[in-house]
Amino acid sequence: MPSESTAAPVRFSAGTAAPRTAVPAGACDCHVHVYDSGFPTAPGAKLLPPDASAQDYRALQQRIGTTRVVLVTPSTYGTDNRSMLCGLAALGAMGIEARGVAVIDGTEGDAELQRLHAAGVRGVRLNLSLGVSGTVDALEPLAHRIAPLGWHLQLLMAPDLLAARADVLRLLPVPLVFDHFGRIPPAQMGQGAHALLLELLQGGRAWIKLSGGYIVSATHRVDDPLLDPLAASYLRCAPERVVWGSDWPHATATAGVHPLPDDALQIDRLAEWARQSPQPGGATTLQRVLVDNPAALYGFASVAPTARALSISAPFPTT
């Protein structure tokens, strides 16, 4: 449970307690969205959350202790990346290191892709669950389009579709990133899609985001104990290929699918999973997931491990 140390309330995040976990210097939240009603929503968009700005997210950083962030263009805007790009610019103006994951249709010219790269984009997302742009047939064209830039392809797809496209996924010329636990419910551990993800992770072909655990949980709870073995399966398989994301501002929660999660508790849950999956050689699993792995995947500067990375009991000091 979180400590009694409190911080100011944060929009779209339950609770006010700081995490019990003192995160390491350079900790990165690898899955965040920003929303701005000044930009039009895509036809057919299923999630239409209220405005959530980079400034709002900064308050969450101060509460949970992260200092780096990755913004992902949400399904709400289709292939319009302007809200995400404005968020990157706003974060940069605040001195916050940030990267972006865009949504494209593959017809963009080289100049447009170079513009996105210069703004901090390091990957593209194909959302086949709630997305309103792109189909499974776009896997190969998108991968080949972004390969020269050194970008990754981030995927959100149902387990049965994931398993059915195994042969294609094994041969794509770019790294793959699967968000929200690979969208694998705990009850489907060991089945086709989960086994494929473990194979891709172990082979160095993919990365997994421990984000949205409350989405894949049958009870929609951050503290669902059934998430423990699922998280452990990824951390033990390829600890160098695991990153973490809050999924703030939790658009599925504001849509009424489930209650708002407590992001401080999400950090503490990650710390529990890290403790249960210790790594040899001195570097802690938490340091890897929050600092070293995001630096490798998104191109952040390396940060030396500190004593803070070992702490899981003292609350992060609030400001």
Distance (Å, whole) CA 238 – CA 79: 32
Judge residue 37's burial from the number of C-beta atoms within 10 Å of its C-beta, 0-12 exposed, 13-18 middle, 19 or more buried.
Answer: exposed
CA dihedral 294, 269, 101, 205 (to 10 degrees): 60
Token pair for 244? 């973490």
Chain centroid offset of residue 96 CA: 17
Residues linked to residue 70 through DSSP beta bridges, in sequence order: 99
Assess whether 110 carries a catalytic annotation. Answer: no
DSSP, residue by residue, 45-97 = -S--PPPB-HHHHHHHHHHH---EEEEE--GGGTT--HHHHHHHHHHHHTT-E
Cis peptide before 249 (omega within 30 of 0): yes
Which is the catalytic residue, given 29, 179, 223, 247? 247
Sign, CA torsion 50/52/56/58: positive
Tell me the catalytic residues: 247
